[in-house]
């Protein structure tokens, strides 16, 4: 039999063992939780945050729907910032390609800028995204709805993946939904589940207040607005969570667009520009078989700005262009993608802002932020920024193409080598002083432009129905009919040209 002292010692031993095991279990659990908060792709610790941080940042966002914090928002934010960081990096990386397009059309449509985040939660900014219900593209259109809003969908082309046409269709649809409901919460709910579903929910709720209608909507649609808040939060505050974008090559960031009407293949484009077919495909995701078919309406082709001159020369008759036309000579095509660009440094002036610099350097504001790891769009005088520019000057000759290509026959466009598609670091791009890119003297001209790297400048004019070339020439002092005929290779045609066509007018 144990004595009183032995019994007390035994109890102390049992309690000691119990508390030791409890401490070990707590340490083990803590270690597991700590591991969960390490980025599994780069093995860096994930910055911690509190619910109060999220709530404060949500309240500071100016959205078309007043942001509200909830457990659903919390879950989506955690997915972006903790468990799905690789996806978040991809989304932020693609913003430099697609947000400038979205914002342009949102401004044209007079819609809130933050609606661009709808594409984030619909497709993660992936033009090839497809849902289980077969919705496709950046804005996730079903085929019947896409066709209803003017998108071409067939065995060769699926414009639900076209960043320009799908955006215009989506914004047309969103504006129509907002006009119907007068409320962005209901409009976005209808975008997700269809107007019929929302109409039935409104009828059951006997109200058009989303807070009352929500409980009659499917769960996915109820969560759509919180998901929209989380997507907007990602776009605004990704840097607060240590997320860096997986940005695409500069060829994918500094681009230009042309409308073509005749059949062209990706192989033709690759041959005439020196691009890989992969780059052409990635910039033009709506063409299924590597073929841009003939079209009376015209098809959009997006290419790196540095090679657009060669493609325009190949087309010979560019009916529509965004911006200037380069020299008629072949531009340089290099084997190493690093040689396609130069970088320079620029000191910010008091009158500068991101958009003015984007206009000056013919790029977009999102790229400038990416190149300089800017966390906000606020600039301060004297700040030094890194800028990248493509070589597009006509003084360079192609390494692969014969000089002055003027034929459209594929046999004349054959090249011996096509550069392989590969990623590269902008750190290895050669630096060139700012003076080399011919910016006007900044101290003398507060409003300034980047001089063209081409030798000839043009503006474009859209032809009105019934208008003759003689009448068009009369609108531009110093421009003659012969100038228009020569610049547009129109021969002796002096009658009216096709309405809607865009013709080149020499800038005097």
Q: Which CATH architecture has domain 51-241?
A: Orthogonal Bundle (1.10)
pLDDT one-digit tens code per residue, 323-371: 333 333 334 444 455 567 888 888 898 999 999 999 888 889 999 999 9
The CA-based angle 288-294-295, given to 5 degrees, is 100
Out of 3.30.470.20, 3.40.50.2000, 3.40.50.720, 3.10.350.10, the CATH code matching 458-506 is 3.10.350.10
| Confidence (pLDDT) at 409 | 32
Q: Phi and psi dihedrals of 432, rounded to 5?
A: -130, 135
> What residues does CATH 1.10.530.10 cover in the chain?
51-241
Three-state SS for 242? Answer: coil
Which of 2-6, 11-15, 56-60, 115-119 is predicted least confidently?
2-6
Q: Could you identify the residue written with the tokens 């657009």?
A: 308
The whole-angstrom separation of Cα 13 and Cα 364 is 70
Classify 52 as helix, strand or coil.
helix
pLDDT in tens, 15-59: 666 666 665 555 444 434 333 455 555 556 788 888 999 999 999
Task: Pinpoint the alpha helices (H) of 110-161.
Answer: 117-123, 143-148
**What digits encode the pLDDT tens for the residues 253-277?**
999 998 898 899 998 898 888 888 8
- The answer to whether residues 80 and 240 touch, using CB atoms and an 8 Å cutoff, is no
Phi, psi dihedral angles at 90 (to 5 degrees)? -65, -40
User: In the predicted model, is pLDDT for residue 447 greater than 50?
Assistant: no
Is the pLDDT confidence value at 479 over 60? yes
Where in the chain are all domains bearing CATH 3.10.350.10? 458-506
Mean pLDDT of the chain: 78
Return d(Cα 79, Cα 97) in angstroms, integer. Answer: 23
Q: Which of 225-229, 262-266, 496-500, 503-507 has the lowest mean pLDDT?
A: 496-500
83-87, 136-140, 170-174, 456-460: the lowest-pLDDT one? 456-460
């Amino acid at each position: 039999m144990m004595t009183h002292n032995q019994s007390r010692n035994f109890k102390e031993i049992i309690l000691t063992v119990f508390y030791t095991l409890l401490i070990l279990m707590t340490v083990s659990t803590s270690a597991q939780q700590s591991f969960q908060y390490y980025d599994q792709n780069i093995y860096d610790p994930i910055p911690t945050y509190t619910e109060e941080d999220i709530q404060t940042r949500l309240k500071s966002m100016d959205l078309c729907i007043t942001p509200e914090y909830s457990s659903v928002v919390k879950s989506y934010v955690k997915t972006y910032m903790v468990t799905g960081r690789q996806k978040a990096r991809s989304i932020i990386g693609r913003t430099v390609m697609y947000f400038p397009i979205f914002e342009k059309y949102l401004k044209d449509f007079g819609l809130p800028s933050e609606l661009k985040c709808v594409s984030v939660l619909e497709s993660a900014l992936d033009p090839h995204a497809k849902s289980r219900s077969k919705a496709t593209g950046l804005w996730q259109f079903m085929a019947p709805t896409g066709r209803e809003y003017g998108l071409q969908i067939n065995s060769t082309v699926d414009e639900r993946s076209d960043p320009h046409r799908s955006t215009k269709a989506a914004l047309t649809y969103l504006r129509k939904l907002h006009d119907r409901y007068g409320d962005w919460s209901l409009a976005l709910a209808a975008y997700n589940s269809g107007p019929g579903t929302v109409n039935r929910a409104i009828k059951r709720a006997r109200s058009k207040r989303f807070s009352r209608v929500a409980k009659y909507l499917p769960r996915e649609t109820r969560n759509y607005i919180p998901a929209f808040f989380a997507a907007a939060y990602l776009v605004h505050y990704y840097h607060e969570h240590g997320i860096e974008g997986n940005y695409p090559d500069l060829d994918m960031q500094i681009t230009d667009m042309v409308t073509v009407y005749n059949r062209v293949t990706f192989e033709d484009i690759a041959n005439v520009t020196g691009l890989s077919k992969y780059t052409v495909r990635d910039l033009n995701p709506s063409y299924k078989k590597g073929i841009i078919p003939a079209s009376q309406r015209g098809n959009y082709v997006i290419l790196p700005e540095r090679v657009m001159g060669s493609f325009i020369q190949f087309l010979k008759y560019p009916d529509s262009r965004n911006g200037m036309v380069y020299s008629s000579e072949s531009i340089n095509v290099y084997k190493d993608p690093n040689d396609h660009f130069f970088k320079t440094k620029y000191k910010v002036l008091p009158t500068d802002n991101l958009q003015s610099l984007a206009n000056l350097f013919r790029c977009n504001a999102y790229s400038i932020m990416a190149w300089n790891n800017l966390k906000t769009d606020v600039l301060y005088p004297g700040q030094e920024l890194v800028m990248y520019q493509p070589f597009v000057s006509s003084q360079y000759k192609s390494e692969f193409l014969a000089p002055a290509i003027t034929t459209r026959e594929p046999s004349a466009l054959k090249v011996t080598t096509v550069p392989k598609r590969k990623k590269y670091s902008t750190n290895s791009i050669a630096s060139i002083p700012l003076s080399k890119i011919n910016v006007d003297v900044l101290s003398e001209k507060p409003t300034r432009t980047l001089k063209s790297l081409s030798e000839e400048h043009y503006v474009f004019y859209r032809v009105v129905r019934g208008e003759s070339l003689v009448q068009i020439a009369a609108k531009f002092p110093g421009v003659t009919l012969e100038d228009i005929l020569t610049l547009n290779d129109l021969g002796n045609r002096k009658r009216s040209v096709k309405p809607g066509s865009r013709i080149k007018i020499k800038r005097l």
